[in-house]
């Protein structure tokens, strides 16, 4: 079965976890339990803020480094998951369900990409 990388894109600093409604954590926990029991979730995690990150760029035959935060970027990857689904439609359905757990005033985007298997 194919594997999919889902990148959770957020506008960094646009909202705080403390702004979530009281049931948010319970809804997320229930969804993660369901997706894990279904054998779909292989790995997931949130990412630390960009101010703690670095970028490495290869351009013109040279390496350059940029310390975070990356102010020129409005939307950043705030987390990820790796799932194993029968097809893209199933991966998209899980992403839809993940987004629906979030408070309606938040803007969260999921980019779903199939992982290219090597060899």
Give the side-chain half-sphere CA count within 13 A for 11. Answer: 6
Residue 32 included in any domain: yes
Q: What is the pLDDT along the chain (119 residues), one digit of tens a residue?
A: 999 999 999 988 888 888 889 899 999 999 999 999 999 999 999 999 999 999 999 999 999 999 998 877 788 999 999 999 999 999 999 999 999 999 999 999 999 999 999 87
The verdict on residue 56 lying in a domain is: yes
Whether 44 is covered by a domain: the verdict is yes
- Domain containing 74 equals 3-114
Domain count along the chain: 1
Q: What is the pLDDT of residue 119?
A: 78
CATH label of the domain that carries residue 76: 3.30.70.1060
Does some domain include residue 119? no
pLDDT at 28: 95
- The pTM of the full predicted model, rounded to 2 decimals, is 0.87
């Amino acid at each position: 079965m194919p594997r999919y990388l889902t990148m959770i894109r957020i506008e960094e600093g646009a909202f705080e976890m403390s702004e979530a409604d009281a049931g948010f954590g319970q809804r997320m926990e229930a969804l993660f339990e369901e997706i894990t029991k279904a054998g779909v979730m292989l790995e997931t995690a949130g990412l630390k803020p960009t101010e703690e990150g670095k970028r490495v760029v290869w351009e013109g035959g040279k390496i350059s480094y940029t310390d975070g935060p990356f102010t020129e970027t409005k939307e950043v990857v705030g987390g990820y998951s790796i799932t194993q689904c029968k097809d893209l439609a199933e991966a998209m359905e899980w992403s839809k369900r993940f987004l629906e757990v979030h408070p309606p005033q938040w803007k969260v985007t999921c980019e779903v990409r199939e992982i290219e298997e090597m060899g």
